[in-house]
Chains A and B, each alone.
Chain A
Amino acid sequence: MIETVPPGFIFILGAILIPILRLRGKLRQLYLLLIPVVGFIDLLYLEPGTSWIYRFLGYDLVFARVDRLSLAMGYIFVIIGFLAVLYSLHVEEDGQHVAAFLYVGSSLGVVFAGDYFSLFAFWEIMAVTSVFLIWYRREKESLDAGFRYVLMHIFGGCSLLTGIIIHIASHGFTPVGPLAGGWTSVFILMGFGLNTAFIPIHTWLPDSYPQGTVTGSVFLSVYTTKTGVYALARCFSGTDMVAYMGGIMAVYGILYALLQNDTRKLLSYHIISQVGYMLAGIGVGSALGVNGGIAHLVNNILYKSLLFMCMGSVIYVTGKRKLTELGGLAGLMPLTCITCIIASLSISGGPGFNGFVSKGMVISSAAGAHRPILELMLILASVGTFLSFTKLCYFTFFAKNETIEAKEPPFNMQLAMILTASSCVFIGIYPRVLFNVLPSPVHYHPYTFSHVVGVFQLFLLAGLVFMAARAALSPHEGIVLDFDYFYRTTCRGIVWLCTTPLNGLRLRTQGFFSREVRGIIGLSRNPISMPEIAIKHVHLKMLKLLRGSVRSPEERMRELEEMRSRLDEIRKMAYDENAYRGPMGLGILLAMIFLFLYGLIYFTAS
């Protein structure tokens, strides 16, 4: 009998050992590949039920809650973890691998968490570790985007924690499951919704994912949003709001994807759109809907990571990421081109590819649940997906560009793309393998004559419009404003408020008190003279009272001018954040030390 552990722990331990073992060359590559393999074997032996329960502060923390849903998620997370590690084997930097493994491990931790506290803990580890996959690109845009990513996820994390605390206070310590409603649901939904990129709190996704490292973006495209979908499937299945949010996301994502010039930004908007399909299925809540949502999640992980691999390879080889700079790569990178076409047909839902199966399930579930608007939104998004990927493939691989130079990426990247593309085709041809791992038994037949003909008609007519209106869909330089415009403007307003009026007030107050303190210091140097100074001061005041001002009008004017110029100086004083970093950092460090000591004493005493 093999003793199993929560799969996330294997990845986390594996990550910790990377800098300790300091392996190099083939041995290191073998070690990196071995971790997901061990994780997969562990998954095979996991028994349904709950285990790894630890009592903490009177609560039972459950680290291994195993059922069909968590197992389905676990399998796809570990499989794609293996493929993404294979894709990034050539990366020499240990830190990137550590961040990636911690990210995968914490995502698996969320999936197998049986209670809200451990779910929250892994949720936050996931947010913190994933940002390093953006920062490791070491460009200014990546650093900035990473900070915005962290800020948004802190907001989501705080919202989630608030919801969890309210839930525990009102309902006690319950397993992760359907919620009763009220403020608990609002806060928890907002926390989960941020990770799944609900509109309009989705802006972190297209902002940060294109800024990740070539290999890091492959990991990013998989885990954060999908753990969010999983959490929604657990807690908000059958919620109308989730279903319609899914429909809105599906259309909104497509609309913005069609406007993009940056290839990875285009793919990021497609993540929003595809997550929309999953949420639509989960929100409908029928067996077909939830199965469809989870099936689409599994398929999406495969083709979306493949698309990020393909575009990552293009960026890795050419150094170019904009459609306006690309083109003519079909002959130079035939394997990347073929795998990208497979991924595009899969995401579009072409017959014979995995997306065809799951997209059909979700759309059928919307019709089955009598949601006409939702069905039309999802069909519109299907048309848009096909248009968008026709555009991506055409302008990357087939458009004329005689100046571009490229070759196929390293072998490990090619192998990862081939394996992932094969998985897309395999599930498309033999969907039973997918149906067997879904949460409930599946009674759905994707390959009916009308479904196949319907999808062909949809694509062919959309393709015809693309041919006729190619100029309207051709990429353009520049960016397209999204909701982040409002967030950035508001944040800039807050920074202005802090740095100009509030900082000015602070400087004036500081100046006033500094003068008083200086006076007191002067007095304290010679305390014996204090009575005499006091008498003179009173004398002066008396004289002022009796004779008016002792100063001439010129002196008063000069003094007034000095005060005005000082005020102007204060107003013009540039805000230098570095001047405040030290004391702020020290303050935070001290607070953390005190918190740690407080916790230590509390736990030791209890």
Chain B
Amino acid sequence: MVRHLKKLFLLVVIVCIPLGFLTEHEHAVFPWHTIPSMDAIFGALGALLLIGAIKIVGSFASREEDFYD
């Protein structure tokens, strides 16, 4: 069941990316508004950036539960 859901999810991802080439931003202001499927790039890069950031913050700011006690 889980494996099928994963496959379906991947299929949706693969279908969704070319859809970005069929659309264009209604009010393009910045250069990235004109790049097709830019939101997909934002999604992937943003997620990786955030994971990297939480790894860095977690490495120096993590403490035991009773740190303030």
Contacts and interface: CB of A to CB of B under 8 A. Distances in A.
Interface string B24-52: 11110110010001111111101111110
A472 B51 contact: yes
A465 B51 contact: yes
A317 interface: no
A378 to B, nearest CB: 11
B30 A458 contact: no
Nearest to B24: A450
A368 B12 contact: no
A455 B47 contact: no
A466 B43 CA distance: 11
Nearest to A459: B43
A379 B39 CA distance: 9
A456 B16 contact: yes
A515 to B, nearest CB: 41
A379 B30 CA distance: 14
A478 B64 contact: yes
B42 A367 contact: no
A380 B9 contact: no
B26 A384 contact: no
Contact of B62 (A254, A453, A462, A476): A476
Interface residues on B, range: 35 or more
Contacts of B50: 254-255, 258, 380, 383-384, 387
Nearest to A144: B68
A436 interface: no
Given A387-B50, A454-B39, A457-B20, A463 B62 contact: no
A429 interface: no
B31 to A, nearest CB: 9
Interface string A448-475: 1111011111111111111101001100
Interface residues of A, number: 47
Q: Is the interface of A mostly helix, strand, loop or mixed?
A: helix
B51 A383 contact: no
Contacts of A432: none
A206 to B, nearest CB: 13
A364 B29 CA distance: 10
Nearest to B46: A383
A474 to B, nearest CB: 11
B6 to A, nearest CB: 7
Contacts, number: 138
Contacts of B38: 454
A331 to B, nearest CB: 13
Nearest to A482: B61
Contacts of B23: 449-450, 453-454
Contacts of A367: 27, 29-30, 33
Nearest to A388: B50
Nearest to A380: B46
B63 A455 contact: no
Contacts of B29: 367-368, 370
Nearest to B40: A457
A463 B40 CA distance: 11
A259 B53 CA distance: 10
B56 to A, nearest CB: 10
B25 to A, nearest CB: 6
A375 B9 CA distance: 28
B26 A488 contact: no
B16 A453 contact: yes
Which of A459, A460, A476 has the most C-beta atoms of chain B within 10 angstroms of its own C-beta?
Answer: A460
Contacts of B24: 450
A92 interface: no
Given A384-B50, A458-B43, A463 B9 contact: yes
Interface string A497-523: 000000000000000000000000000
B47 A258 contact: no
Contacts of A481: 61-63, 67
Given A364-B27, A383-B47, A450-B25, A464 B13 contact: yes
Contacts of B63: 478-481
B65 A461 contact: no
Given A258-B50, A453-B20, A479-B65, A383 B43 contact: yes
Given A259-B57, A469-B51, A461 B40 contact: yes
A261 B20 CA distance: 36
B37 A457 contact: yes
A460 B13 contact: yes
Contacts of B53: 255
Nearest to B47: A465
Nearest to B10: A464
B58 A480 contact: yes
19 contacts: A254-B50, A368-B27, A370-B29, A380-B42, A383-B47, A449-B23, A453-B39, A454-B20, A459-B43, A460-B12, A461-B41, A465-B44, A465-B47, A467-B6, A469-B47, A469-B51, A473-B51, A478-B67, A479-B68
10 A-B pairs with least C-beta separation: A461-B43, A383-B46, A465-B47, A450-B23, A454-B39, A457-B40, A458-B43, A457-B39, A461-B44, A481-B61
